[in-house]
A and B are shown apart, each in its own frame.
Chain A
Amino acid sequence: MILSLKLEDELKKLNSTLCYQCGTCTGTCPVARVEERFNPRRIIDKIKLYGIDSVLNNEEIWYCVECFICMEKCPQNVKITEIFFKLYEEVIKRGIKKPRKYVGLVKAIYSTGVSTGAYGGKPEAFSGLILKKREKMGLPKPVVKEEVAKTIIESTGLNKILED
């Protein structure tokens, strides 16, 4: 509960309470255009009326593609996309959900330093095949410092998303 209150405060700073339900966000949202279950206006309204806990279990909050159009257009300067970010952070912190996409990204970056590593085969930033191709094209070997990513991810506890 205390956690939620602190978060409510942060959302207020992102102007969540200023929303007057004009629907501009939903009207300009590319996702809402093709996926009727997604409606940013309604999500902001629910947060305003019922609090954050009412949307954290909601699968649809993850449908946002972070294009920032709604935020650019909102007449009340509600930081809609950034409000979604806060919700995601809270969902992950509380362990409510571990979206497959983000688990994959954290895993790759944690073990190789870059997001393209760790897919298929053994985890490494750049496969031998890629390095050979690069050499043939006259491109240098990228020098990645893998352990830095590990240190940073552990420093914030984001590695917990990889547990069990």
Chain B
Amino acid sequence: MRYTLYLGCVIPAKELNYELSTKKVFEKLGIELKYLENFVCCGFPFESISEETWLRMASYNLALAENIGNDIVTMCNGCANSLIHANKIIKEDKEKREEINKFLTEKFNLSVSGKLNIKHIIHVLYNDVGLERIKENVKNNLNGLRFAVHVGCHIVRPSSYMNFDNPIEPEKMDELIEVTGAESVNYITKHLCCGNYARGINDKVSITLLRRKLEELKDLNVDALVTICPACYLQYEMGQLELRMKEKINLNIPVLHYPQVLGLALGIPVSELGFDQNKIKPKKILEQFK
């Protein structure tokens, strides 16, 4: 298995623990990742304010990857959503495809056909590697650890093009937790949006959504909240630091990237999974694996 890794903006700047743990997990499972060079933003932030800008940005990145030929993998819900959506339009809408190719050829001497599959790491782990093979590779059973998963919105919706899991109550992340031997805790606010996108528009909404989930999790006494998107991760981790500073609310719930959890189960040393970068330390877990 070989993929082109589309890095995106947030992870390579702010979440090196996500990038490192993904790299280590994929290495362990024998999956080759080749970094896409000369990329730009996937266009996601523009989809809502300028459809044409979004589609051109996404298509440029897709065209680069088509030249290399391997399917694309990304670690971000936003990047996955943007690239999958754009790719579908390119594949299915002849008129739009021709329009884009005229632009790409003229400006960058590139063209795009929609021939690649675009995947989030969760798609690769669940569909391509599969639970069976993951299970065979588990060296440390995480029995006794209790995780709350947060899947995020854009990896499952809109289902018309994301089409991966139940779009309202996704379940596959639970299976990916449980294959490690750990428990995926059920909770009321499980499918509630993280609120990251309200930042800079209505900060009160953002913080209220954040608190709803984290306060429930505090009562449930979970070992960590597990995310698969850099925006959700940032919201939950930085949001807690903000609450601590501004409102003296101390929730102290560690937030982990899923590959950090899987990495532990696969027997990858803690020191290679980037835990030094997690700002809220999962003390119990680190104690157990030291």
| A residues in contact (CB < 8 Å) with B | 30-31, 34-35, 38, 62-63, 65-69, 71-73, 81, 84-85, 88-89, 92, 99-102, 104-106, 109, 113-117, 126, 130, 133-134, 137-140, 142-146, 148-149, 151-153, 155-156, 158
Contact = CB atoms under 8 A, between A and B. Distances in A.
Given A65-B196, A114-B13, 14 more contacts: A34-B205, A34-B212, A63-B205, A84-B48, A85-B48, A99-B201, A102-B45, A139-B19, A139-B23, A148-B60, A151-B107, A151-B108, A152-B60, A156-B56
Interface stretch (B35-43, B126-134, B236-244, B257-265): B35-43
B13 A116 contact: yes
B200 A101 contact: yes
B9 interface: yes
B52 interface: yes
The 10 closest A-B pairs by CB, nearest first: A101-B200, A68-B157, A114-B9, A143-B37, A116-B13, A65-B197, A145-B38, A67-B153, A34-B208, A115-B9
A153 B53 contact: yes
A76 to B, nearest CB: 15
B48 A116 contact: no
A38 to B, nearest CB: 8
B53 A66 contact: no
B268 interface: no
Interface string B1-18: 000000111101110100
Contacts of B8: 114
B280 interface: no
Interface residues on B, range: 35 or more
A4 B159 CA distance: 30
Q: Is chain A's interface secondary structure helix, strand, loop, or mixed overall?
A: helix
A64 to B, nearest CB: 8
13 contacts: A34-B209, A66-B154, A67-B153, A69-B157, A92-B49, A101-B200, A115-B9, A115-B45, A126-B13, A139-B16, A146-B40, A151-B107, A156-B52
A137 B107 contact: no
B40 A149 contact: yes
B47 A158 contact: no
Interface centre among B7, B46, B57, by most chain A C-beta atoms within 10 angstroms, is B46
A138 B24 CA distance: 11
A109 to B, nearest CB: 5
A142 B12 contact: yes
B153 A31 contact: no
B204 interface: yes
A113 B168 contact: no
Contact of A85 (B10, B40, B47): B47
B28 interface: no
Contacts of A144: 38-40
Interface string B135-170: 000000000000000000110011100000001100
Contact of B168 (A72, A88, A133, A137): A72
B209 A109 contact: no
Contacts of B209: 30-31, 34, 65
Contacts of B212: 34
B7 A30 contact: no
B222 interface: no
A69 B56 CA distance: 26
A95 to B, nearest CB: 13
B198 A72 contact: no
Contacts of B193: 30, 65, 67, 69
